[in-house]
Structure 1
Amino acid sequence: MKALIAFAESDPIGTKAFRSIVQDTSSAFPELVRELEGLAEGSGAALDSIWVANLIAELDPLLPPSQSSASNQGHCTDIYAHADANPEYPIHGHNEDWSVDAKEFWYYVSLTPDPDSEQEADFSACAGLTYPGSMLAYAPAWNAHGIYQTQNTLFPNNTRSDGGLACSFVQRAALCSESTTSLDAYLAKLHTGGWASGASLNVVDLGTGEMANAEVLLDAFDVVKVKSTGNYSHTNEFKHLVEGILVDLGEDSATHRQARLDELPPPESLQDIADRLGDTSDTELPLYRDTTLTSSLLDVASGALQIWDGRNPKEGDPDFVWNIKEWFGST
């Protein structure tokens, strides 16, 4: 974060990218800018630093390779499955990976509009994992309509330095909207065009059991609906968006993790997914590592979300178990 803040403040490329992305994103999402201003005021941090915390995906690829997170440990892993290949029993797993330094600095936050407020809220109820200064929906999160999402960071070589929309804002607006009541509604809101960079979004509809992966890059957008059979997973490299595959910088950890998942048989239970998220058989670049902050398992049928806090999900009970279908009282 110190490197990103210094890049945005002092480096000519970083400053240009930071200012232009802030301008374009502010024009598109003024209500979320007010939220950032509130985070800055409440925390005592500089507003620009709060902005940087929400532009990691856009600024990080522009850093010199020695400083970029793509060059050190990689990021997240997602696994989709259907129990016993039953389309009525979808399940999903996610490793939230970032940095050993970040292990003590994340939170679960739940946002609910105040029904007694004189001013109408400009968001719908949603909750999820957040980082200091960051908005909800950059990491695993869900809304009051039963839509659950996670993200895989991607590393294209054509990230814009002249503007565009920040993914954290698009994702937040897509998830925390009163009209986002289905998987397709969420995907439609993601497909804005004009992104400054790209991302992989994994989405589950707890109401219908539908699951999908969306890859986004600049104006390009592609979706894979996850079927009831097969072995579908996603790490930190483009898999199906042609425009992204052509400009993917590649990432050794993601390549190793994806290869390990591909060689295993399709998972058919929550325990199968836990075993894969906790897999350390690749001694060089395993799926589970010291940079894994949390591991999450979602039983879509029941709504039960199991979360392990910095512990291998193969090796014990979860630290938290929440029913996200009932989180806001009704879905």
Structure 2
Amino acid sequence: MPAPADTGRRNAIPVLYTSGTHYEVGYDVGRTFRGIIEDFLASFKELQDNLLPAYESPKGRAAYDQTLSSLQDNFPQYVRELQGMADGAHVPFHHLMLLHMDQVVPMNCGQERSAGTNGCSSVCVNHDGQVLLGHTEDALPETLNHVYLVSAHITEEEPQGKWGIRREGFTALCYAGHLPGFCMGYNHHGLVFSINVISPKKVLAGKTPRHFLCRALLSAKTMEKAQQILRDRGTGSADGFSVNMSFTRQEGDHLFHNAEVGPAEEADESPMSILTISPGEHLLHTNKYLRLAIPEANGLCMESSNHRHARANDCCPPETRAALLALLSDTNDTVYPFFREGGDPDFVKTVALGVFDVVDKTWTIWMKNPQKADPLLTLPLLFTWAD
């Protein structure tokens, strides 16, 4: 009997453990998840209808080449990691690189920002005994069932890239064909984090795509290093995003930090705003700037964010695990809910929901709405402090 065309929301996620160089780890990811990557690329309308046609235009190809040249100068190890993934999955390298450049190529050949780059809600809870980072991973509908977990230890003989990193260890949720770091995850130095995309009106060629800054963040040992990575002095970010993070190794009180990052227009480093969430506080961040005064694109990204913040004001404050889950699984707003199932006009879907418990050192993941389903798995946060 043939498989149904629509398999629905699956309650499953594959996990890969791998070690080696950046290229070897990328190759293992591509080889292991070849089928998932191929299926995703074939069905992903954003790639077929927007990114590839823009790449074929003279201005789009120039933006691609300029951005790739910058990445090869600053982050050659992550370019090799992506090349390994393409080789392992037997897919064209430029198809995967276009996913990572996102709107850099189309918006620099005259197109408006695609409605496809939006999603995710994050909640930092820092209350007595409740130190939690919750996150809904929201993406285009084709991404549903096309995610996996990668747990990697990377070792190189020589320092790599602009920050001179030789070793990395992390576990991260990944979209098919994407480098780790752009969703949620943790590294073995004790950093846990989640990402919210933001849509500024301008996206810049020749700067560092946000996917690569998030990938680099998986190497950060300290908050100082994380800020250095996000500022990306010498180049700066091409696009907008925010990071919700906690360095669980630090002494003293537990702290969360929210970093809003903007495109480095007429500058060689990213504009950035840092907010610290101290004990007794909590924070919701969606897909709009709360502090940086950077012009943003109107549309689904902004409209949905406004609805989610308005709904949060009507809910119980997320001061406990139960309240956090109630908020992130909320569907009271039937047009722009927190847990998204796709529809009109909000076609985005929540592909996973995760909660990091900093006190218990666990990461719990749901693939279905927690209102109706148990978590699929709980992973221990395995931190090591050796360089």
**TM-score clears 0.5:** yes
Say which SS state the counterpart of residue 298 (structure 1) adopts. Answer: strand
Q: What are the ranges of 5 or more consecutive residues in structure 2 without an aligned counterpart?
A: 1-46, 160-164, 265-269, 342-348
Give the counterpart of 1:17 among 63, 66, 71.
63
1:45 equivalent to 2:87? Answer no
Aligned to 2:170: 126
Aligned to 1:199: 241
> Map of 1:1-331 to 2, 5 A cutoff?
1-56=47-102, 58-59=104-105, 64-65=111-112, 67-70=114-117, 74-82=118-126, 85-86=127-128, 89-113=130-154, 122-160=166-204, 162-176=205-219, 180-193=220-233, 194-208=236-250, 209-217=254-262, 218=264, 219-242=270-293, 244=294, 246-249=295-298, 251-290=302-341, 291-309=349-367, 311-324=368-381, 326=382
Residue 307 of structure 1 aligns with an amino acid whose one-letter code is I
1:66 Cα deviation after fit = 8.2
1:8 Cα deviation after fit = 3.9
Asked whether the 8 Å contact 1:4–1:52 carries over to 2, the reply is: no
Say which SS state the counterpart of residue 294 (structure 1) adopts. Answer: strand
Q: Judging changes above 3 Å, is the alpha-carbon distance between structure 1 residues 175 and 329 closer, same or farther for their aligned structure 2 residues?
A: closer
Distance in 2 (CA, whole Å) between partners of 1:13 and 1:249 is 24
Q: Judging changes above 3 Å, is the alpha-carbon distance between structure 1 residues 183 and 118 closer, same or farther for their aligned structure 2 residues?
A: closer
1:210 Cα deviation after fit = 1.7
Asked whether the 8 Å contact 1:212–1:226 carries over to 2, the reply is: yes
1:65 Cα deviation after fit = 4.7
1:229 Cα deviation after fit = 3.2
Distance in 1 (CA, whole Å) between partners of 2:371 and 2:386 is 32
Residue 213 of structure 1 aligns with an amino acid whose one-letter code is N
Asked whether the 8 Å contact 1:61–1:157 carries over to 2, the reply is: no
Q: Judging changes above 3 Å, is the alpha-carbon distance between structure 1 residues 58 and 274 closer, same or farther for their aligned structure 2 residues?
A: farther
Identity %: 23
Asked whether the 8 Å contact 2:137–2:351 carries over to 1, the reply is: yes
Q: Judging changes above 3 Å, is the alpha-carbon distance between structure 1 residues 155 and 51 closer, same or farther for their aligned structure 2 residues?
A: same
Asked whether the 8 Å contact 1:183–1:203 carries over to 2, the reply is: no
1:4 Cα deviation after fit = 4.0
Aligned length in residues: 315
CA offsets 1:257-296 (integer angstroms, 9 cap, x no match): 1221233332121111111010011111111111000001
Say which SS state the counterpart of residue 146 (structure 2) adopts. Answer: coil
Asked whether the 8 Å contact 1:8–1:52 carries over to 2, the reply is: no
Distance in 2 (CA, whole Å) between partners of 1:36 and 1:158 is 26
Asked whether the 8 Å contact 2:366–2:377 carries over to 1, the reply is: yes
Residue 212 of structure 1 aligns with an amino acid whose one-letter code is H
Distance in 1 (CA, whole Å) between partners of 2:196 and 2:138 is 9
Asked whether the 8 Å contact 1:183–1:210 carries over to 2, the reply is: no
Say which SS state the counterpart of residue 167 (structure 2) adopts. Answer: coil
Q: RMSD value over aligned CA atoms?
A: 2.5
1:95 Cα deviation after fit = 0.1
Say which SS state the counterpart of residue 271 (structure 1) adopts. Answer: helix
Distance in 1 (CA, whole Å) between partners of 2:103 and 2:184 is 15
Asked whether the 8 Å contact 1:305–1:321 carries over to 2, the reply is: yes
Distance in 1 (CA, whole Å) between partners of 2:48 and 2:384 is 36
TM-score between both structures, scaled by the size of structure 2: 0.75
